[in-house]
């Protein structure tokens, strides 16, 4: 009986050896979130824009990728890691001031989950 080697469409070894930022880049490219971002940005309209919707959303995805157990842990990582802030889309010139507050994350998550509808 002949054994034919299986050709794989996707090789997990590439992901396993990738850096954390590379894995985040893969996720950010793969998530079909454009319609959500457009809706959230439209909902914000002329409201405060201290923390851009897309950058804040990307940082939430980073929290999932990096397995942060809380928003507080994610915020600590963002304050510590300028490269991560840049990858998420925060303005580099703002430095630590670019990191969203707890309430900014809470508001965004509430908007995503529909908590502000009455």
pLDDT along the chain (118 residues), means of 10: 64 65 92 95 81 96 96 97 96 96 95 69
pLDDT for position 118: 43
pLDDT at 71: 97
92 and 86 in contact (C-beta within 8 Å)?
yes
Say what the pLDDT of residue 46 is. 73
Reported as half-sphere exposure (CB side, CA atoms, 13 A), residue 88 has a value of: 32
Residue whose C-alpha is closest to residue 108's, from 47, 20, 23: 47
CA 28 to chain centre: 7
Query: What global pTM score does this model have?
Result: 0.81
């Amino acid at each position: 009986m002949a054994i034919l080697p299986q050709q794989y469409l996707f090789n997990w070894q590439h992901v396993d050896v990738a850096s954390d930022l590379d894995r985040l880049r893969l996720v950010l490219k793969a998530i079909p979130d454009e319609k959500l971002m457009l809706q959230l940005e439209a909902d914000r309209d002329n409201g405060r824009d201290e923390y851009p919707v897309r950058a804040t959303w990307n940082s939430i995805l980073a929290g999932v990728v990096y397995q942060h157990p809380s928003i507080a842990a994610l915020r600590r990582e963002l304050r510590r890691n300028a490269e991560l802030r840049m990858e998420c889309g925060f303005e580099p010139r703002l430095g630590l001031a670019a990191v969203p507050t707890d309430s900014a994350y809470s508001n965004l998550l509430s908007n995503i989950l529909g908590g502000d509808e009455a």
